[in-house]
Amino acid sequence: MNSSSQAPSRIAFFVDSLPMGGAEVVSLALVQGFVERGLAVDLVLGVRSGDLQDRIPPGVRVVELAGPLTPREVTFREETLRMVTSVPALARYLRRERPAVLIAAKSHANVTAIAAKRLSRSPTPVFITEHTYLTGELPSQEVARGTPKNRILRRTYPLANRIVTVSRGAADDLSAVAGIPRERIDVVYNPVILPGLPEKADAPIDHPWFRAGEPPVILGSGRFTTQKDFPTLVRAFAHLRAQREARLMILGDGPERAKVEALIAQLGLQDSAACIGFVSNPYPYLKNAAVFAYSSVWESFGLVLIEALALGTPVASTACGAPQEILQEGRLGRLAPVGNPEALAQALLVTLQEPSPTVTEQDLRPFTLDAVVQDYLDLMGVASPVTGELRSGRAPKVVGM
C-alpha cells in the first residue's frame, strides 16, 4: 500500500463479537464512516453474537469465523485460548480476500490478527487498536509488565504494522508496559460526536428532578465498578450539600451499585442522591444536567465526558488520565485529584457557581466521526473516493513478519 490517491480495494475490521462495549461501538461507528466515504468494508467477527448486531450498517459484508461461543465473562487467557480457534479461519480470509488493511480492536483480537497474518503470510498490513490502560488496577507499570496478558502483548504487539491507541496517556502506558517505542504508537481519538446526538438529547425526560425550579442536578454515568469510583463522587456530593442545595443522579448499573446505594443511605442523602440504573437514552439527562461529574481512578478515554461537552453541559472530573487530555489540562472543565472527595466537591461547586468555559467546534472536531475516519485514511496513506482528501499520506510502517 502506498500514499497514492487510489482508494483501497477493501478494508476489514476484526472484532471477536458485538456485545454492548465501548470498543465494539467505536468499531461500528468507524465501519459506518468508511462506508459513507465510499469504501468497501468487511466486518470480520469471531462469532456473530451480541446486542450490537442490529447496528451493523447496510452495505457491509459480514464474515463470521465461527469460533465457539462462551456465554460468560472470561479471563484474558481464556479469551485468547478461545480466539486461537479463529486464527486459521482468519488466516484463510486474509489469503483469500487480501484486504488493503485489517484493523483489529481490543487486546485478544489484536493478538489473533497478528497471529493470523504470520500464519497466512499475507501482505495485508495489520493495524491494532488498544482502547484501555494495560496498567489498569495494578499498582504500577512494573507489576503490569509481568502479568500473563501483558507478556503476550510484549511479544506480539511489536509485530503489527500500525499500533493505535485512543489517547496520548494510553499510548504512554502501552509503550511502558509493552516495551514498544513511543514513536511507533499513533493516537487516534474515538469517534464520539455522531450524527443524531442532538436529536437524541432533545427527547423529553420523565423525572421530577428536571422540572423547572428544582435544584441543579449533578449527573454521573457509567458501570458501577472500582474504576469509576462512584463512592468518591457520593462523598464529594455530601461535602457539596453542606454548602448549597443540589441533587446527584447516577446512571448505569454494575457490581458496585449496592455498595454505592448503601453509602448514600449511610450519609443520609436518600432524598437528594439516587442511582437510577440503566437508561436506554441517557442524552436528555446529560443535556439537562447542571454538571456532569467524572470520578474515575483511571481512564484511557472519556466518551461521556466528550458527549457532555458537545451538548453544552459543564464538566468536572478527576485527573485520571485521558480526561486531563480531553479537558486540555483544565481549560474546558475543572479537574480534581483522584480519590479526593473534598477537592472534587470544590470543583463541582466552582462549576455550578462560575460561568462555563467556552468549548469551540475546533475543540470538539478531533472527536467527530469525519475527523477520525480521515485520521485512519491518513495512516493508510489513501484518499477517500468520495472527498478525495488526503492530508498526510503517512504510509504504514512495515515490520518484518
Digits of tens for pLDDT over the chain (401 positions)? 444 445 557 999 999 888 877 888 899 999 999 999 999 999 999 888 888 888 899 999 999 987 544 544 556 566 656 667 789 999 999 999 999 999 999 888 999 999 999 999 999 999 999 999 888 867 777 777 788 888 889 999 999 999 999 999 999 999 999 999 999 999 999 999 988 999 999 999 989 999 999 999 999 999 899 999 999 999 999 999 999 999 999 999 999 999 999 999 999 999 999 999 999 899 999 999 999 999 999 999 999 999 999 999 999 999 999 999 999 999 999 999 999 999 999 999 999 999 889 999 999 999 999 999 999 999 998 665 655 554 544 443 333 33
The residue extents of the domains of the chain are 11-191+368-380, 197-361
Cβ-contact 62, 53 below 8 angstroms: no
Does this chain's domain 11-191+368-380 share its CATH topology with 197-361? yes
DSSP label at residue 295: -
Residue 376 and residue 396: Cα distance in Å, rounded? 11
Q: The domain 11-191+368-380 is classified under which CATH number: 3.20.20.150, 3.30.565.60, 3.40.50.2000, 1.10.10.10?
A: 3.40.50.2000
Identify the CATH class of 197-361: alpha beta
Residue 293 and residue 142: Cα distance in Å, rounded? 31
pTM listed for this prediction: 0.85
Q: Where are the alpha helices (DSSP H) in 166-208?
A: 168-178, 197-201
Q: How many CB atoms lie within 10 A of CB 294?
A: 28
